[in-house]
Amino acid sequence: MIALAIAIIIQGLDNFHFVRKRIRQVRPPHNYMPPADLICPCCGLDQNLEENLRPLLAQDYPDYKVIFTVADPDDPAVPLIRKLLDEVGPDRACLVFAGPAQNCAQKVYNQLQAIRQASRGVPILAFIDSDIHPAPNWLRHLVDPLVRPTVGVVTGYRWYVPARQNLASLTLSVLNAVPAGGMGRHCLNHAWGGTMAIRKEHFDRLKIADVWSGAITDDLTLSTAVKKGGFRVVFEPKCYCASRDALTWSELFEFVRRQFIITKVCKPGLWLIALAASLQYALTFWLGLGLAIWTAWTAHPAFNFVWPIPIIIYAFGLLKGILRRINIFLVLPRHKHDLNRATWLDIFASPLTNLVMLFCIVASVPTKTIIWRGIKYRLHSPGRTEVIRP
């Protein structure tokens, strides 16, 4: 268990140095910015929706078009989208009504219909979620690594910024920071659907439309197809994006548990790694702490061997929290004030937040059914999703 903790620390240090190097790296001189279609599926009124969508229409990129896509014209987001379209005109953005999904997640179906109905056949397809706030040069940085022929998909990642300083929202920020800190220059990266870009030729060659036709998730299935095709999933730290949200405890558990159910079905190996890492941390720290207290109370001679264990494990968690926070303050400096309380929680309360994570992972074991944006799905396999409607 100590060996696993050391391996996690080594990976954390690697992520720390990689992120800092990429953030400070001057953009390469190749100036690779081919025409792109930027697809943004929407559903309902996310917090700060207008604040999130406006930057999509003002990217520092020479030739791109935003394709907003919703399930039906009655979606609450439609009036806002129409207002934005009136401001920029049809050459910069359009709106696609996808209709109800039958065999895949509604979000995935919206993206597929956006490509089929409104794509201009340009070299680059980029995807973004409606609940994140991108910087003006976000699209430029996202497309940049695709100049290399070995790169299949480029991804960024979200960083939850608590919109309300309640404990559940702060805990979500901490839990999300754990996988965010696991991205790097290694081959274990997985794309995140809220920020990713792929060459259209790779999208067609790898038959991603067929892969998505029965999928519950766009990113994990895309990552699998890209790697099977012999390409790389590249993480671009310059594409970290803030996502402001405020949750209750029930909403937090529902959200995190849903992520692990999807991961369990689509990427069981990744789910097992998360379970093993969370379980070993909990067992080593809490069992070690209990044994240290008991041996101290009974004056047992094993005390001298037991007491360092929880301290070492706690120190590892503290170090990883510090590394994560140093990096995110470098990437998203304007959100430092709102992240302060989550920072303290991330650094000093890792044994407690890890228990929340472990609880959500274990709670994902007995079921393959989720509710996402008001729609119920039963996940049979990565490529087979049953949509259960009233």
130-147 pLDDT tens trace: 999 999 999 999 999 999
Contact 338, 173 (CB under 8 A): no
Average of per-residue pLDDT across 328-335: 89
Cβ(74)–Cβ(45) under 8 Å? no
Q: What's the token pair of residue 157?
A: 């990642």
Q: Are 66 and 56 in contact (CB under 8 A)?
A: yes
* Mean of the per-residue pLDDT values of the chain: 92
Q: Cα separation of 183 and 172, whole Å? A: 18
Task: Name the pLDDT band for 4 (thresholds 50, 70, 90).
Answer: low
96: which strand partners? 69
Which structural domains are found in the chain, ordered by start? 13-250 (3.90.550.10), 270-388 (no CATH)
pLDDT at 245: 87
Asked if the model's pLDDT at residue 42 lies above 80, the reply is: yes
pLDDT at 286: 94
Q: What is the pLDDT of residue 23?
A: 82
Number of H helices, E strands in the chain: 16, 10
Instruction: Work out the angle at residue 139's Cα, subtended by the Cα atoms of residues 173 and 109, and round it to the nearest 5 degrees.
Output: 75
pLDDT of residue 195: 96
Sheet holding 232-245, edge to edge: 93-97, 64-70, 36-41, 124-128, 195-199, 151-162, 232-245
What are the pLDDT digits (tens) for 294-304? Answer: 988 988 888 88
Residue 105 reports pLDDT greater than 90: yes
Q: How far apart are CA 204 and CA 202, in angstroms?
A: 5
- For residues 370-385, give the mean pLDDT: 94
Please report which confidence band the pLDDT of residue 161 belongs to, taking 50, 70 and 90 as the band edges. Answer: very high
Q: What is the mean pLDDT of residues 224-251?
A: 94
Q: Is the pLDDT assigned to residue 284 strictly greater than 80?
A: yes
pLDDT at 27: 67
More confidently predicted of 266 and 31: 266
**Residue 386, helix vs strand vs coil:** strand
pLDDT of residue 1: 56
User: What is the DSSP track for 118-133?
Assistant: H----SEEEEE-TT-B
Per-residue model confidence (pLDDT) at position 63: 95
**Contacts within 8 Å (CB) and 24+ apart, 314-317:** 314/285, 314/350, 314/351, 316/5, 316/6, 316/8, 316/9, 317/281, 317/285, 317/350, 317/351, 317/354
Band of residue 316 on the pLDDT scale cut at 50, 70, 90: confident
Half-sphere exposure of residue 80: CA atoms within 13 angstroms, side-chain side: 20
In this prediction, residue 15 has a pLDDT band, given cuts at 50, 70 and 90, of: confident
Burial of 299 from C-beta contacts in 10 A (0-12 / 13-18 / 19+): exposed
**Whole-number pLDDT of residue 219:** 95
Query: Which positions ≥6 away from 74 have C-beta within 8 Å?
Result: none
Q: Is the pLDDT of residue 194 over 60?
A: yes
CA dist 201 to 17, 145, 279, 388, Å?
33, 15, 42, 34
**pLDDT score at 28:** 65
Whole-number Å distance between alpha carbons of 230 and 337:
42
